[in-house]
A and B are shown apart, each in its own frame.
Chain A
Amino acid sequence: MNGPSTKHPYWRQHWLGLMLVVGVLLAVPFVAALGGQAWVRIANFAILYVFLALGLNIVVGYAGLLDLGYVAFYAVGAYCYALLASPHFGIHLPFWVILPCGAALACLFGVLLGAPTLKLRGDYLAIVTLGFGEIIRIFMNNLNAPINITNGAQGITLIDPVRIGDFSFARTSTVFGIAISGPQKYYFLLVALAALVIVVNIRLQNSRIGRAWQAIREDEVAAKACGINTRNIKLLAFAMGASFGGIAGGVFAAMQGFVSPESFSLMESITILAMVVLGGMGHIPGVILGAILLTGLPEALRYGIEPLQKAVFGRMIIDPESLRMLVFGLALVLVMRFRPAGLWPSSLRRRELAEATD
């Protein structure tokens, strides 16, 4: 965890692993492209969700605040990018200005949500955050009159792609003799951003703040008694989680070139929460695994369910698309049944669980 200059146990112990990870990450978009550009796009969304899940992990996993409206911050970030880089208002700011703006705005919304809900616990908080998510979505959907701000349900089109000078992320271009498609470029941007959020997550986990969150998660009253300013620390969790959501939203808007309220439904919040819990709450590798699995599984089923059904039954019995979601739901149930603490829980959690069942 410490800087590499003083003592580097982390780097020394893990340099091989790290190199391997970097190598794999670099190879992914090119290997995926062999299976079609669609897989690159799926990989992009997987990383976007890694990003979102890690953001939510701060709120749910670290601070233990059940947030069912996380998508609101994602929406705020996306709309912030859309409004500041599209013909809708005729403003075209570069992405490195807008992304921080989106993060800041989402952060503000995080505090706005956090402030009135500080007193609430557990499931009461869940419903209020859920309501907050719906409120944001409904406003996005209806703020086209009397003043047209969000263009309502019609959404905002022709959003600028990420562009550095003349290097646009929307087109294929050749770098060092290798053709890199638009989705592949976004892949590298996303990986860079995800690396950032992972580093922040790791640093937070073992910091003073991280331990304060953990204290609140385990026992708020005791945490307060220990002199932790629970109000500020909780607000900080909301604000940090929200900022990551805001950045993710901005990248989403740039990648899609279009935003509309239907992308920010309650189902989306639930999916992100499922990623966090399924992977292993509060444990970074687990959350990453959860996000990748839950994005990849439905898409893999899209490709695989038809041949699978033919192989098992010899013919198509059920529409592949109905079966796809059915299998997805069953997978959620089964994973939770056999890995109640998530697929890859932290060792601490595992110990706690073992004690509880004794």
Chain B
Amino acid sequence: MKQAHIPGVLMVLAASVAMIGCGKKEEPKAAAPAPAPAAAPAPAPKPEMVVKIGHVAPLTGPIAHLGKDNENGARLAVDDANAKKLEIDGKIVKFELLGEDDQADPKTGTVVAQKLVDAKVAGVVGHLNSGTTIPASAIYNQAGLPQISPSATNPKYTQQGFNTTFRVMANDIQQGSVVGTYAVKDMGAKKVAIIDDRTAYGQGLADEVEKAAKAAGANIVAREFTTDKATDFKAILTKIKAKNPDVIFLGGMDAIGGPMLKQIKELGIKAKFTTGDGGCSPELIKLAGAASEGVICTQAGLPVDKLPNGQKFVEDFTKKYGQIQIYSPYSYDAVMVLVDAMKRANSVDPVKYLPEVGKASYDGVTGKVEFDEKGDIKNGAITVFEIKDGKLVTLKSEGGTAPAAPAAAPEAKK
């Protein structure tokens, strides 16, 4: 990674100098005769093309930490894609990320979406919340821009009949059923208590867990609620304690999971704790400390250690931006899927490469990315983890097709 950067920077410099030299960059093939497969160090006056990719997430407000994480994932993807010096339509592509802040506010979301459309981006990765993703999707759709959300889980996002909406995140139904079934079948829970944070994400996931757990024969003894801004859960936990469940499930983010785990311990509740991908993060371990031992949680996608590029992503990301929060691997993959589609279509024109996004079959850092006809990720894998000694340890994976490990590695380096 580090070594790859220096020539990359030189290359960009050389190319931009060349660009200034010959004026505008827009002649399609006139400037192409330059030796295309030339070696990198030679500052050949290769035509270069800047392709803008939009990224939107809340960078201010209560969930700004997740938004910045998404943006960092996308940034890393753009850097990696640039380091590969892709050639599309005879030109070297330099990707540029336009990161915008939608403040998790639907109104701002549409303004920002329009701003990206005005700026002529080639595609959009985002938004983070379903509430901003859905109204923005109508604007991207009108402009014919592909939009890949790394984290919006609301099923309605892809059910609007748009051909431009995609998501690389498994929807709630798949994940909920795995957690719910696992809690009953593998953990032997007979009495399950469910808590959700009343966000679109938490509520959707918790409903699915409830269905799956009931179907597997468990009894839902308590269904409690909190908010995504709360820090005190003792009242609902006390109520749950009285019902004496075997397993507690939380549909919510790690920021509430951390304090909740500590309070569970303080109240002397013996039940096992499970949660979905929102809480399945190193952040949860950091926030809950020792109280996180034995937590069972799920993530969409295959475990990183099974994926050749996953490990590398984790290393690169941590080196550059620090701790991964939750969704940055998905926003990384979302950018890469766009890039990959452009490569296959040999065009950066949304009209031409949009169909290729739908046909994607990309080995990402979260597993294989393929879309169904609506734009949802196909057969998304779900992995169950347990927190042991302060680490997420893989228990099992369900669904999804593992990429052929050796074949994927060179593909990623191309």
Contact surface of A with B, Cβ cutoff 8 Å: 36-38, 40-42, 45, 141-142, 144, 152-155, 157-158, 170-171, 182-183, 252, 256-260, 262-263, 299, 302, 319, 321-322, 324-325
Contacts and interface: CB of A to CB of B under 8 A. Distances in A.
B114 A263 contact: no
Given A262-B104, A322-B59, 9 more contacts: A38-B111, A154-B130, A155-B130, A155-B134, A157-B159, A183-B114, A257-B138, A262-B129, A302-B115
Interface string B6-34: 00000000000000000000000000000
Given A154-B156, A258-B106, A319-B59, A37 B114 contact: yes
B117 interface: yes
B111 A41 contact: yes
Contact of A299 (B59, B111, B129, B135): B111
A68 B111 CA distance: 26
Given A152-B203, A154-B203, A263-B105, A258 B198 contact: no
A350 to B, nearest CB: 33
Contacts of B119: 36
Interface residues of B, number: 34
Contacts of B130: 154-155, 260
Contacts of A256: 106-107, 110, 135
Contacts of A45: 107, 111
Main secondary structure of the interface of B (DSSP, over half): helix
A50 to B, nearest CB: 15
Contacts of B138: 170, 257-258
A182 B202 CA distance: 34
* Residue from the set A42, A157, A182, A322 with the largest chain B CB neighbour count within 10 Å: A157
B114 A322 contact: no
Contacts of A144: 203
Contacts of A37: 114, 117-118
Contacts of B118: 36-38
Contacts of A182: 142
A262 B105 contact: yes
23 contacts: A36-B119, A38-B117, A38-B118, A45-B111, A142-B198, A152-B200, A153-B198, A153-B202, A155-B154, A171-B142, A182-B142, A256-B106, A256-B110, A260-B106, A260-B131, A260-B200, A262-B104, A262-B106, A263-B106, A302-B101, A321-B60, A322-B59, A324-B101
* Residue from the set A37, A182, A299 with the largest chain B CB neighbour count within 10 Å: A37
Contacts of A260: 106, 130-131, 200
A324 to B, nearest CB: 8
A182 B119 CA distance: 18
B398 to A, nearest CB: 25
Contacts of A325: 60
A262 B115 contact: no
B114 A36 contact: yes
A4 to B, nearest CB: 38
A24 to B, nearest CB: 22
B199 interface: yes
A33 B106 CA distance: 21
B329 interface: no
B204 A258 contact: no
A192 B312 CA distance: 57
B160 interface: yes
Contacts of A171: 142
Main secondary structure of the interface of A (DSSP, over half): helix
Interface string B124-154: 0000011100110010001000000000001
Contact of A157 (B115, B156, B202): B156
Contacts of B134: 155, 157, 258
A53 B204 CA distance: 35
A155 B131 contact: yes
Contacts of A302: 100-101, 112, 115
Nearest to A49: B107
A355 to B, nearest CB: 41
A221 B112 CA distance: 49
A183 B159 CA distance: 24
A47 B74 CA distance: 35
Contacts of A170: 138
B198 A154 contact: no
A45 B131 CA distance: 18
A142 B200 CA distance: 11
A157 B138 CA distance: 11
Contacts of B156: 154, 157-158
Given A155-B130, A262-B106, A38 B135 contact: no
B131 A41 contact: no
Nearest to A299: B111
A319 B200 CA distance: 29
A158 B159 CA distance: 10
A31 B115 CA distance: 16
Nearest to A257: B138
Nearest to B115: A38
B114 A154 contact: no
Contacts of B104: 262
Contacts of A257: 135, 138
Contacts of B100: 302
Contacts of A258: 106, 131, 134-135, 138
Contacts of B203: 144, 152-154
Nearest to B156: A157
Interface in B194-244: 198-200, 202-204, 225
Contacts of B202: 153
Contacts of B154: 154-155
Contacts of B225: 142
B160 A158 contact: yes
A67 B105 CA distance: 22
Nearest to A145: B207
A188 to B, nearest CB: 18
A38 B106 contact: no
Contacts of A38: 111-112, 114-115, 117-118
Contact of B60 (A142, A152, A155, A322): A322
Closest 3 CB pairs of A and B: A36-B118, A38-B114, A38-B115
Contacts of B117: 37-38
Nearest to A171: B142
B23 to A, nearest CB: 24
B105 A154 contact: no
Contacts of B135: 256-258
A36 B111 CA distance: 11
A292 B9 CA distance: 44
